[in-house]
């Protein structure tokens, strides 16, 4: 995997206060936490800040690809973490970001692209996603609102994480069995 990335845009370093978390085991399908609707949470509470730090710690372990959603570490809460700089195909990259109660506000230019998931071993699939999105959410701790414009792989990664909050796995979006592949690489969304 190459590391020839473009420089990330400068955004609030929301992860600065999120060190010191503990990596947690990844829940795998068919764990029920992965198929339920996650709940909105208060971004400023100590429990949410602590969980955000754990999410970041788990993401930084590097076995989950470029993104992770709270249900994947067993928390049915609306919170996602991503860092598209981990992937060679990136165009936009906001850096390492955690969003609480994230919401997709714009989506356009749909394309198929390959996805995998740390919660589903051994499979990838071609999934249609918007290649340009705008997502809003709150930063853990301050609760400050953040709006991110993303495209290409980062947009795909964020949509994949948002699906986790609605109890959807990428397999739920596979358009047909011919879109399913055995995994040959580790380029997770």
If the CB atoms of residues 52 and 120 are measured against Zn ion, the closer one turns out to be 120
| Residues 161, 81: Cα–Cα separation, whole Å | 8
Q: Which is nearer to Zn ion, 141 or 169 (CB)?
A: 169
What does the binding site for Zn ion look like in residue numbers (CB under 5 A)? 117
Smallest separation (angstroms) from Zn ion to the CB of 161: 7
**Closer by beta carbon to Zn ion, 17 or else 166:** 166
**Backbone Cα Rg of the chain:** 15
181 annotated ligand binder: no
Cβ burial of 140 (10 Å; 0-12, 13-18, 19+) is buried
Q: State in angstroms the smallest separation of the CB of 12 from Zn ion.
A: 25
Our separate counts of H helices and E strands in the chain read 2, 6
* Closer residue to Zn ion, CB minimum distance, 46 or 122: 122
Work out how close the CB of 177 gets to Zn ion at its nearest, in angstroms, rounded to a whole number.
Answer: 20
Is 117 assigned a ligand-binding role in the annotation?
yes
Contact 80, 162 (CB under 8 A): yes
> Which of 82, 158, 70 minimizes the C-alpha distance to 113?
158
Residue numbers in the known binding site are 117, 160, 164
Residue numbering of the annotated binding site for Fe cation: 117, 160, 164
């Amino acid at each position: 995997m190459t590391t020839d990335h473009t420089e990330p845009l400068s955004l609030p370093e929301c992860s600065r206060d999120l060190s010191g978390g503990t990596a947690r085991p990844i829940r795998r399908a068919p764990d029920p936490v992965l198929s339920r609707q996650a709940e909105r949470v208060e971004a400023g509470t100590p429990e949410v800040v602590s969980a955000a730090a754990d999410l970041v710690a788990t993401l930084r372990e590097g076995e989950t690809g470029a993104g992770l959603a709270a249900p994947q570490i067993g928390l049915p809460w609306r919170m996602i973490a991503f860092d598209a700089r981990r992937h060679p195909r990136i165009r936009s990259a906001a850096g390492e970001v955690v969003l609480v109660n994230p919401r997709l506000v714009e989506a356009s230019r749909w394309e198929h692209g390959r996805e995998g998931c740390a919660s589903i071993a051994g499979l990838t699939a071609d999934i249609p996603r918007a290649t340009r999105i705008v997502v809003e959410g709150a930063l853990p701790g301050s609760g400050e609102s953040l709006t991110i414009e993303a495209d290409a792989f980062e947009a795909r990664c964020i949509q994949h994480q948002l699906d986790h909050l609605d109890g959807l796995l990428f397999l739920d979006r596979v358009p047909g069995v011919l879109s399913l592949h055995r995994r040959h690489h580790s380029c997770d969304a």
